[in-house]
Amino acid sequence: MELNRRTFVMGSAAGLAALTARRAAADANDTLVLALMGANNRGSQLAAGYAKLKGVEFAYVCDPDERAVAKGIDAATPSGGRRPKGIKDFREALDDPAVDGLVCAAPNHWHAAATILACAAGKHVYVEKPCSQTPDEGERMIAAAKSASRVVQVGVQRRSGSLYRDAVERVRNGAIGEVILAKSWYYSNRPSIGQGKQTEPPAWLDYNLWQGPALEQPFRDNVIHYNWHFFWHWGNGELGNNGVHTVDLCRWALGVDFPTRVTAAGGRYRYDDDQQTPDTLSVTWEFDGRTILWEGLSWSVSLATKQTVGVELRGSKGSMQFDDSGWSIFDEAGKLVEQNGGGRGDTEHLQNFLDAVRGNAEVNATIDDGHKSALLCHLGNISYRTGRPLEIDAASGRLLDSALAEYWQRKYRPGWMSEEKA
């Protein structure tokens, strides 16, 4: 399970050059070969999405859950054809020179290590949101992608959707004047995760591999496969899970990078269960003369719309609302003046990754942008966990209070992460 230190810090220049040459040759071919890491739920959705596109195939489906491997293989080959090899450990796929890219849909605590390892092996990466579990990891991922000259696409698919690209373009062109406030939300009626108990891992799961770089914890029967989102050791709560999508849209529309101040308030109010992250949360990010707000409720549906997510922009000449059903522009008096629809971007985002790998397009959601949006979520969670506002360096996004360093990065199992950044 140990990560080779030389590989993690990008290896020798000669070795990387050889890998890059082989990848360049593969990139010139019509068919791009991918490996899927994490085949439950989102992973199988991504496999099915890629399988519908031309010029792509999966060579490997990797998951420590043997049941998920079969599910992922079926998703990757819906119409027959060459079925990918099912394996537990994705690092076996990284050793294969025929593989061009890694699609990482593993839990959040895996995103950084998998991306950095893949870049070091000369692979391009599609990594799900949030791109990192800690701010430090995002910085490491940026360095790894840059050092290896690899394409890294972050799974905030709305950046490729015609609906959202059109909406942001209109805002940037002054449709509602100077945007001062961006508000986003997530509402969903989730059930309780209950009170779990410590047991032996099930026979179908390689729990040691599932934990990967994270410090070992005993197996509990209400964590895997989805509820890890609601434990700080594995996930980032609802803000990092679903909030990152609309927070990213707000940041994109306003054209801002790092805030100067972050304030969060909320708690676990609905159920008395094992969940550690808040089920009710409000976060405010202050920029230079502009503000982003996010409100999350995991136990109540939206009353104003059937959509679980949405964004509202307030400008000096009007306002705009948009969600996955479309966008609407209102004048200063609140009168509807224009509206339109469009696609959310799921398929387009996958195609954009393939096009970028082939050198035919710029990636729509770079690791730099993915880090900046994930960082807003991390900062919101840090403010909530510490119970205090955070003062931020607007040039770097870093905390000004060094006493909060423990929240900036995490500890790993020995051998997995170097102390120095790639």
pLDDT tens, residue by residue, 366-404: 999 999 999 999 999 999 999 999 999 999 999 999 999
Give percent of the chain with pLDDT exceeding 90.
88
d(CA 84, CA 386): 45
Amino acid code (one letter) for 370: G
On whether the CB atoms of residues 422 and 144 are closer than 8 A, the answer is yes
Nearest to 260 by CA among 396, 61, 75, 411: 396
Distance CA 111, CA 117 (A): 10
CATH top class, domain 5-158+349-366: alpha beta
- Residue 179, SS3 per DSSP: strand
d(CA 417, CA 4): 9
Phi, psi (rounded to 5 degrees) for 157: -65, -20
CA distances to 13, 90, 91, 110, 222 from 2, in Å: 22, 14, 11, 14, 27
Percent of the chain, pLDDT > 70? 92
What is the DSSP-derived secondary structure letter of residue 60? Answer: E
Residue type, 400: L
Q: Is the pTM of this model over 0.75?
A: yes
- Nearest by Cα to 253 from 168, 175, 321, 344: 168
Mean pLDDT, rounded, for 224-228: 96
- Alpha carbons 295 and 297: distance in angstroms, whole number: 7
Tell me the CA distances in angstroms from 76 to 44, 71, 83, one per residue in order.
Answer: 7, 9, 8
Lowest mean pLDDT among 185-194, 272-281, 299-308: 299-308
**CA–CA dist 153, 362 (Å, integer):** 10
Domain locations in the chain?
A: 5-158+349-366, 161-194+220-343+377-408
| pLDDT one-digit tens code per residue, 57-81 | 999 999 999 999 999 999 999 887 8
Strands (E), 280-356: 280-286, 291-297, 309-315, 318-323, 326-330, 336-340
What pLDDT, on the 0 to 100 scale, is given for residue 11? 37
Q: Mind listing the pLDDT tens digit for each residue in 123-156?
A: 999 999 999 999 999 999 999 999 999 999 999 9
What pLDDT sits at residue 29?
A: 53
Confidence class of residue 23 from pLDDT cuts 50, 70 and 90? very low
Domain 161-194+220-343+377-408, what architecture?
2-Layer Sandwich (3.30)
Instruction: Determine the Cα–Cα distance for residues 322 and 291; give it in Å rounded to an integer.
Output: 18
The one-letter code for the residue type at 278 is: P
